Amino acid sequence: MSSAEERREALKDVLREARGCVRCPQLAQTRTTVVFGSGNADADLMFVGEAPGRNEDERGLPFVGQAGQLLDRLLGEIGLARADVFINNVLCCRPPGNRDPQPIEIEHCQDYLFRKIELIRPSMIVTLGNFATKLLRRDTTGVMRLHGRPEVRVVGTRVVRLYPVFHPAAALYTPANVEVLRADFARIPELLALGAPEQPPGRAPEVEVPEPEPGELVVEAVAPEPEPEPAAAQLGLF
């Protein structure tokens, strides 16, 4: 599947599947809507957060509360807007009371995330906070140690520049983290300018990754384990 139109149609199919998902019975019963993601379906830059909150659950769009307002400001400071990127979360459904995602919920929902990555084909993924960072790195190291350190990494079937940063919500609770987040965001344009890492032939996820840029880490990874708003609203540039 190579054309942008075919990939967009396939992404709509994934959205329709996610909208009817009942893999997590509690979340399926308590959600208002499935928050699949929004933005540019051909984006070079993807953001992956944790899970929808109350505002996101009500509106069916990611990062529309206070954390989303901060994200918008940070994007604007580096010359980007939501229309330029794709924003989504590890979970598509709001955990009750905004509790942390449970491991079984992450396991059930990760397939949607990896399929979005495969179809959108970002060259760079910014992980916002611990849950996204740990899932896409397949490692338990937290974002406190990793933020601001780009890696060339295999994520599913794609080689990407993975860039962990603090979750905007953490900056809201700890104002000093806003400047840390701002400094990490300031590096995004230069990392995007490096272009997409060389992709593996075929679909094999375990490959030799390209030589890193100075200061980048290169690590091995494994492939992932095997109401609602209309598509046009959630996938804004279709």
pLDDT above 80 for 201: no
- Of 77 and 232, which is predicted with more confidence? 77
pLDDT of residue 12: 96
Residue 45's φ and ψ, nearest 5 degrees, are -120, 125
Model pTM?
0.86
pLDDT band at residue 206 using 50, 70 and 90 as cut-offs:
very low
pLDDT above 50 for 147: yes
> What angle, 0 to 180 degrees and rounded to 10, lies between the N-to-C axes of helices 103-120 and 130-137?
70
pLDDT above 80 for 90: yes
pLDDT of residue 186: 98
Task: Write out pLDDT tens, residues 38-88.
Answer: 999 999 999 999 999 999 999 999 999 999 999 999 999 999 999 999 999
3-class state of residue 238 by DSSP? coil
- CATH number of residue 52's parent domain: 3.40.470.10
* Tokens 């896409």 belong to residue: 136
Residue 215's φ and ψ, nearest 5 degrees, are 90, -5
Q: Helix H segments across the chain?
A: 4-19, 25-30, 54-59, 66-77, 103-120, 130-137, 143-146, 168-173, 176-185, 188-193, 231-234
pLDDT above 90 for 212: no
Number of domains observed in the structure of the chain? 1
Lookup: tokens for 84: 């330029």
Separation CA 63–CA 85 (nearest Å): 13
Q: Which domain holds residue 178?
A: 4-234
Task: Write out pLDDT tens, residues 103-115.
Answer: 999 999 999 999 9
